[in-house]
Chains A and B, each alone.
Chain A
Amino acid sequence: MDKPDYALSIEVEEAEDHATIRPVGYLNALTGDQIDKVCEALIARGLRYFIINFGQVQLINTIGISILVGIIEKVLNRQGLVYFTELGGTNREIFEVLNLSTVAMFFADDDSAREHLRRDRETLRRAMGG
């Protein structure tokens, strides 16, 4: 069989202080590992804020979820933040049912998430006396 439907590809957009990751397809163990590697490389370059856009993810299984939780843990351990955007339909339901909103923030789109990130950074800067 040639490249199957739902094969995941990952688009990454880096900005000054954050990265936007857009997986496409089926988020499972194999593809979840790909996202994990991408995030690790970005973290190694000093990035601490991540927006993960699910607008083009057709299907997620719970192994993929567990990998996402692992990514969130790594980011949080570096005092970073993870934002999920464009979670719709069943994917949104999955994240809500599993209470993942307790460990990451959900936004309708990337711009909303970036605006929130900007305010977060400002608040943090003022709190640190910077």
Chain B
Amino acid sequence: MPENIQSIFLSRDLGARPAAEFFGRQVEREQLERTLQGIASGQSRLVAVAGPRGAGKSELLRQVARGLIEKPAVVLPLYLDFAALFPAWRSDAAQADPEARQGLCRTVLRQVLARTGRFGLGEAQWLEFDPSHLAGACHGAGLPGLAALASGAGGPHLGLELWREVLCALRAQAGLPVVLLVNGLAGEAPAGAEPLAALLEGARRAGVSVIFEAPHAFAPGLEETLEGLEVLSLSPLQTAPAALLVQALGVQRGWALPASHLNVILARLGPWPGWVRSWAALVRPAAPALSPVRMAEEAYVEFLNAGPWAEAFASRFERAVPLLLRERALRLARVALERREPVGPEEIPLILGVAPEGCDQILDGLTGLGLLSRQGARWSGPRTEALGDWVMLRLAMTSDPAGPAAARLALLSRLLAEPWPLAEEASVPAVERILPEVLGRFRGQLLPTVLLQFAHYFEAVGRLSAEQRRQTVHRATATFTLPEVIGVAGWKPWSAGEGTPPLYYARAYREGKYQRSHEEVWIAVDLSTARLLTTPEIELALGAVRALEDSLRPNRFVRWLILGEGASAEALEMIQREGVFCSSREQLAMIQEMLAPLLPRTPPGLKSGPEDESVTEQETPTLNDRSAVIEMAGAAHEPRAETSSLSLPARDGSELIAALAAEKIAVRADFNAAAAGQIKTSVLEGVLNAIEHSPNQEKLIYLHFIVKPEALEVTIENEGTPFDPLAVPTPDPRAKLASAHKRGWGLSLMKRFMDEVGYEPCPRGTRLRLVKRRRFEGGEEEAPLTKTLRGKV
């Protein structure tokens, strides 16, 4: 068959999945292969492919048909999908429907003519669009019975004689054994006459073999009348093939599900609040005897069998709501979803930002879709959790139309064809418990910067499994040096209204220096209770933050937002504009995991009242605030480090001075010659990089050499464009030979010579932090007493 014709047939009539997406069933395929060999040798066979719903009967038949079409002809396959041709094919009305009959006729003709080389693209067109040619085409193909079938001859039923006549003519025309592959016969047994019997008996009398999808239950007595009926039983899809299906489709279709296992889905069935459980419950209500494995298997396979449906609900939404108002409409649905009290009519125009008279259409549309539920004159949220999920996903999808949210949205759209039972509410988030504790653990550790960057985190690792995300974060080289926190407190403004999120603030000092110049205040806002943040919540939170900043003395403030599951595109843009740190609950949990718990200590005394005076280096810092103290953590008592500082102009030659200074300091700090050489080289490269990224030679580069008991730490700060070390690949000398760009070795060298290498933003611009640990006798990496967090290189 010519390739283009084949593709027409395969896409139009067959709709089989790519072979790579069909897993398992090898035994059954081989069995059918043997059946086909028998048919090719002249046998007449009647095979029912039976099995529970979702076992793969239909797809197995499609794959068999595909195989027959793609191979050289030894049999003539004729593939019919009754569910597609006659949606309610068991009814008399369906069988008598002229459109349906003509469709059946076209399907048969298309395949017969294509297979026998008499079908071109021209024929495809007139056959599809000009029914008047249909009868003539049938006669021309030597299939007058088919023309009769199309014209409604034979009465309302597709009876035995009609089938026999058509199939006999087909067999005569083909010159090859004919096998009829029939799908779409699944369903409950009919109340009346069994049209399937007519088809099968007609085929048998015509000497045509039939391999068909068995209905869930044959009509009474049918099996007995079908002489020589063979039954190929498919067992329910087992976990392993189902897992492969999940994996293949998850990878290929970019699902939000991790591209791995059914087990992951099963694990999520529990804690995940909405869509996975809803999806798993799609197939049937969870019977007590139905295991979660089976439920997920069936749900998944059922979904696969559903065919293209994804845009249905989205299309309805888009028809109901004008483009420019869609986000606001979704925001309205979200507000209604999350508030306990229904939304009043006076609030609707404010939320939607349209005049009151323009709201009705949108309200009607949203109500019709179930995204709002009317309660008298007020509106509450989506009537089911799945619809609520849809709202959230749709809001998230706006920033990434092809991302994971879009795939989840497509799936959820399918599920919304049926009403759902409301799922259990999600467990109360634990952020308000762990956030002050996490702040209190800041002790100058190195933290992967990505844990403070919500959008970057999910772009980089969002599609990985939880374990893979953890491993990737631990391998991150871009790190941020946390300050040393001396106290944490909670805060709420006097005029806090409903919805004002809880704030926590922590006084901290950078670089181990308890000086006013190194003081900063971290303000963390817990926004995790909102499932999906939009701009109003961000505005409210930042307003509260500014109120807190105003109540404290002027300082360097670091703002940190903790989100729930996600944020809308506008919210993320706002976060970026404001230059705040932003972490999800997951990222916060990782931070908690990475920061070692504190040793018990006696907290310093607490003062309250007027603003405290400037803190000098010798004083123990104290905390001053106007609200209740939640937790107080004192500064760790560590041996003071010896620090040397150097500032150099950002021009050629400065790197040599810096390198020599580094070597001298390393030797004086009792590093051996080899280690001192490595430190020297790394500082050389670090300063070279700083010179390159400085805007001009008048700028300065600042170096600090901090000799600690366990390590030598060197920081190199420059004013200039931030440097992204993740953008620099590891160079290969042989590749460099053929390349015009021969640079790019410095970062690799630093990483190999130093124990820690990290770039982080700093007030001046960019800070490079290099750490070389001491190697003691016996190979221990650190001095025995002091332990701090190590960033990973």
Q: Say yes or no: is A46 at the interface (Cβ < 8 Å to chain B).
A: no
Known contacts A61-B685, A93-B678; decide if A69 and B736 are in contact (CB<8 Å): yes
A4, B660: Cα distance in complex, Å: 13
A62–B680 touching, CB < 8 Å:
no
B753 within 8 A of A: yes
CB distance from A69 to the nearest CB of B (A): 5
> Do A63 and B743 touch across chains, with their CB atoms under 8 A apart?
yes
Q: A4-B653, A61-B685, A76-B737 are known contacts. Are A94 and B749 too (CB-CB below 8 A)?
A: yes
Instruction: Report the separation of the CA atoms of residues A26 and B744 in the bound assembly, to the nearest whole angstrom.
Output: 19
* Docked pose: A94 CA to B752 CA in angstroms: 9
Taking CB atoms and an 8 Å cut-off, the chain B residues in 726-751 that contact chain A are: 731-734, 736-738, 742-746, 748-749
Q: How far is the CB of B385 from chain A (nearest CB, A)?
A: 56
Of the candidate stretches A10-18, A98-106, A110-118, the one touching chain B is A98-106
| CB neighbours of B753 from chain A (8 A) | 93, 97
Contact of A90 (CB < 8 Å), options: B656, B678, B734, B746: B678
Q: Does A59 contact B (CB under 8 A)?
A: yes
**Cβ-defined contact, B748 with A97, below 8 A:** yes
Q: Contacts A65-B745, A90-B678, A98-B748 known; A73 to B688 CB distance under 8 Å?
A: no
Question: Quick check: is B674 within 8 A (CB to CB) of the other chain?
Answer: yes
Asked if B742 and A61 make an inter-chain contact with CB atoms under 8 angstroms apart, the answer reads no
Interface of B is mostly: helix
* Residues of chain B with a CB closer than 8 A to A90's CB: 674, 677-678, 680-681
A6 touches B748 (CB 8 A): no
Binary flags per residue of B685-726, CB closer than 8 Å to A gives 1, else 0: 100100000000000000000000000000000000000000
Residue pair A89, B733 in contact (C-beta under 8 Å): no
Cross-chain contact of A100 among B674, B678, B733 (Cβ < 8 A): B733
* Contact across chains for B688 and A62 when beta carbons are under 8 A apart: yes
B684 at interface by CB-CB < 8 Å: yes
Complex CA gap A114/B749 in Å reads: 30
Which residue of chain A is the closest to B678 with respect to CB atoms? A90
Q: How far is the CB of B755 from chain A (nearest CB, A)?
A: 15
Taking a contact as CB atoms under 8 Å apart, the answer to whether A98 and B745 are in contact is yes
Residues 72-114 of chain A: 1 if any B CB is under 8 Å from the residue's CB, otherwise 0?
1100100000000000011001100111101100000000000
**A89→B663 CA distance, assembly (Å):** 14
Please determine whether B737 and A66 come into contact, CB atoms closer than 8 angstroms: no
Choose one: B674, B678, B733, B737; the contact of A98 (CB below 8 Å).
B733
Instruction: Check A103/B733 contact, CB under 8 A, given A90-B677, A97-B748.
Output: yes
CB distance from A94 to the nearest CB of B (A): 6
Question: Cβ of B737 and Cβ of A94 under 8 Å apart?
Answer: no
A61 partner residues in chain B, CB cutoff 8 A: 655, 684-685, 688, 746
Question: How far, in angstroms, from A30 to B748 measured CA to CA in the complex?
Answer: 22
Q: How far is the CA of A75 from the CA of B66 in the complex (A)?
A: 58
> In the assembled complex, which residues on chain A have CB atoms less than 8 Å from the CB atom of B240?
none
Q: Is B21 located at the chain interface by the 8 A CB criterion?
A: no
Q: How far is the CA of A28 from the CA of B659 in the complex (A)?
A: 13
CA distance in complex: A72, B737 (Å): 8
Contacts of A62 in B (CB 8 A): 685, 688, 743, 745-746, 749
A: number of interface residues (CB 8 Å):
28
- Report if B652 contacts A (CB, 8 A): yes
B746 touches A89 (CB 8 A): no
A69 contact set on B, CB distance < 8 A: 733, 736-737, 742
Cβ of B673 within 8 Å of any chain A Cβ, yes or no, is yes
Residue of B nearest to A100 (CB): B733
B743 in contact with A89 (CB, 8 Å):
no
User: Which chain A residues border B685 with CB–CB below 8 Å?
Assistant: 61-62
Closest residue of chain A to B677 (Cβ to Cβ) is: A90
Return chain A residues, CB-CB under 8 Å to B678. 90, 93
A54 to chain B, nearest CB (A): 14
A67 CA to B656 CA, complexed, in Å: 18
Inter-chain contact B674/A89, CB cutoff 8 Å: yes
For the complex, give the distance between the alpha carbons of A64 and B744 in Å: 12
* Proximity string of chain A (46-71) to chain B, C-beta cutoff 8 Å, 1 when within and 0 when not: 00000000000001011101110110
- Which residue of chain A is the closest to B752 with respect to CB atoms? A97
Which of B652, B736, B749 interacts with A97 by CB under 8 Å?
Answer: B749
Residue of B whose beta carbon sits closest to that of A66 = B742
With A63-B688, A73-B737, A103-B734 as known contacts, state yes or no: A30 contacts B652, CB within 8 Å.
Answer: yes
Provide the residues of chain A in CB contact with B659, threshold 8 Å.
59
Q: Across the interface, do B731 and A98 meet the contact criterion of CB distance under 8 Å?
A: yes
The CA of A46 and the CA of B731, in the complex, are separated in Å by 31
Query: Which of B656, B732, B738 interacts with A26 by CB under 8 Å?
Result: B656
Q: Give the CA-CA distance A106 to B259 in the complex, in Å.
A: 47
> CA A99 – CA B737 in complex, angstroms?
13
**Cβ of B527 to closest chain A Cβ, rounded Å:** 44
Out of A4, A26, A29, A66, name the residue touching B745 (CB < 8 Å): A66
State the CA gap A89–B678 with chains docked (Å): 10
- Give the Cβ gap from B624 to chain A, nearest Cβ, in Å: 50
Q: Closest A residue to B741 by CB, please name it.
A: A66
A67–B743 CA distance with the chains assembled, in angstroms: 9
- Among A62, A69, A73, A100, the one with the most B-chain Cβ atoms within 10 Å of its Cβ is A62
CA distance A74 to B749 in the complex (A): 24
CA distance A26 to B737 in the complex (A): 23
CA distance in complex: A64, B232 (Å): 73
Min distance, Cβ A50 to any Cβ of chain B, angstroms:
15
Inter-chain contacts of B743 with A (CB < 8 A): 62-63, 66
Assess whether B656 is in contact with A98, with CB atoms less than 8 Å apart. no
For A74, give the chain B residue with the smallest CB separation: B737
| Whole-angstrom CA separation of A69 from B684 in the bound complex | 19
Q: How far is the CA of A90 from the CA of B674 in the complex (A)?
A: 7
| CB of A51, distance to nearest CB on chain B (Å) | 19
Chain A residues numbered 1-33 whose CB sits less than 8 Å from any CB in chain B = 4, 6, 26, 28-30
Which residues of A lie under 8 Å from residue B681 when comparing CB positions?
A: 59, 90, 94
Chain B residues whose C-beta falls within 8 Å of the C-beta of A102 in the assembled complex: 733-734
| A72 / chain B contacts, CB cutoff of 8 Å | 737
Contact A66 B736 (CB under 8 A): yes
Q: Are A98 and B677 in contact (CB under 8 A)?
A: no
CB contact under 8 A between A89 and B749, given known A26-B656, A62-B743: no
Could you mark each residue 651-684 of chain B with 1 if its beta carbon is under 8 Å from any beta carbon of chain A, else 0? 0110110010000000000000110011011001
Residues of A within 8 A of B674 (CB): 89-90, 93
Nearest CB in chain B: distance from A78 CB, A: 13
Across the two chains, which residue of chain B brings its CB closest to A76?
B737
B737 touches A89 (CB 8 A): no
What's the minimum C-beta distance from B378 to chain A, rounded to whole angstroms? 68
* Bound: A100/B748 CA distance, A: 13
Distance from A79 Cβ to chain B, minimum over Cβ atoms (Å): 14
When the two chains form their complex, are residues A59 and B684 in contact, meaning their CB atoms are under 8 A apart?
yes
State how many angstroms separate the Cβ of A4 from the closest Cβ of chain B: 7
A67 CB contacts on chain B under 8 angstroms:
742
B674, B685, B733 pick with most chain A CB within 10 angstroms: B733
A-B contact pairs, 6 of them (CB 8 A): A4-B656, A29-B652, A59-B656, A66-B742, A89-B674, A93-B677
A26-B656, A97-B752, A102-B734 are known; give 20 further A-B pairs, CB within 8 A. A4-B653, A29-B652, A59-B681, A59-B684, A61-B655, A61-B684, A62-B743, A66-B744, A66-B745, A72-B737, A73-B737, A89-B673, A90-B674, A90-B681, A93-B674, A93-B677, A94-B681, A97-B753, A98-B745, A100-B733
Listed in ascending order, the chain A residues whose CB lies under 8 Å from chain B are 4, 6, 26, 28-30, 59, 61-63, 65-67, 69-70, 72-73, 76, 89-90, 93-94, 97-100, 102-103
The 6 closest A-B pairs by CB, nearest first: A90-B677, A62-B745, A66-B742, A62-B746, A97-B752, A73-B737
